[in-house]
Structure 1
Amino acid sequence: MLPGDMAEIKTTCVLLLLGVWAGVMLDSGDGIEVKNLDPKGNPLYLKLAHFAVSSKIAGLTVYNTVVNLTTVKTVVFKTGVASYSLDFTTAPSNCTIGKVAYSAEECLPAGPANETCWAAVEVVPPANTTILSDYACKDKKA
């Protein structure tokens, strides 16, 4: 993946998702509200970022962990479904995959942040089901 590719893919995915959601919601008579949120404004945002990194383990021997949550955007539908776009940095953690379950409290960075990541996460009421719909990272050195 070339350095500029992730930004283009991310922008395309966000626009595509927003377009589809807007089309579905407008067609069904429901409205949507798009917001930029303070990453430190609600502990849920960091929890969602940790959910995303804990879900992506293919090819890894240790879990990655969130170092810094930098951007949070959301689309909230009148139906209650909330879709979050999260930007964050990650680093390899001190937790080995297969030996321990991922824990935001226990799996701490074992070095400096080495990736910049983006995740799309949906929270669906009433059961508050959390779904990771997209995830992409690039090396911070790229």
Structure 2
Amino acid sequence: MLPGDMADIKTTCVLLLLGVWAGVMLDSGYGSEVKTLDPKGSPLYLKLAHFAVSSKIAGLTVYNTVVNLTTVKTVVFKTGVASYSLDFTTAPSNCTIGKVAYSAEECLPAGPANETCWAAVEVVPPANTTILSDYACKDKKA
């Protein structure tokens, strides 16, 4: 992936997601505005970021883990669906895939942050099902 590709992909995904949100809001009349939230404002935001990194393991031998959650944006629909856009940094953890299950408490960074990532996560009631709808990372050195 070229250095500019991540920014282009992220911008495209955000615009697409916002377009879908706008379409749903205009079509149904049920919608709310996109809100930027304090990343430390709720433990849920960090939990969602950990859910995202634990879901992306293809090609890895160790899990990545969240180092720092930097940005949280959300829109909540009248149907109760909450969509979150999360920006965070990751580092390889001390947990080997296939030997242990991912745990935010157990899988700690084994080195410095090496990627910046973005994830789109939806929380759907009534069972509070969590869905990772998009995820992208780029090397911090790029």
Q: TM-score, normalised by structure 2?
A: 0.97
TM-fit CA distance, 1:108: 0.2
CA distance in 2, matches of 1:118, 1:17: 13
Please state whether the residue corresponding to 2:50 is helix, strand or coil. Answer: helix
TM-fit CA distance, 1:25: 2.3
Please state whether the residue corresponding to 2:34 is helix, strand or coil. Answer: strand
Please state whether the residue corresponding to 2:3 is helix, strand or coil. Answer: coil
* Alignment partner, residue 116 of structure 1: 116
TM-fit CA distance, 1:24: 1.9
Identity percentage of aligned residues: 96
TM-fit CA distance, 1:34: 1.0
TM-fit CA distance, 1:92: 0.3
Unaligned regions of 5+ residues in structure 1, if any? none
CA distance in 2, matches of 1:66, 1:31: 30
CA distance in 1, matches of 2:103, 2:65: 9
Q: What aligned pairs does 1:1-142 form with structure 2 within 5 A after superposition?
A: 1-142=1-142
Q: Indicate the RMSD between aligned Cα atoms, in angstroms.
A: 0.8
Shift >3 Å, 4+ stretches = none
CA distance in 2, matches of 1:70, 1:122: 18
- Matched residues, number: 142
Unaligned regions of 5+ residues in structure 2, if any? none
Please state whether the residue corresponding to 1:74 is helix, strand or coil. Answer: strand
CA distance in 1, matches of 2:11, 2:67: 23
CA distance in 2, matches of 1:72, 1:137: 16
Moved more, 1-10 or 125-134: 1-10
Please state whether the residue corresponding to 1:4 is helix, strand or coil. Answer: helix
Does the aligned pair in 2 maintain the 1:22–1:32 contact within 8 Å? no
TM-fit CA distance, 1:21: 1.9
Moved more, 36-45 or 76-85: 76-85
Q: TM-score, normalised by structure 1?
A: 0.97
CA distance in 2, matches of 1:113, 1:122: 25
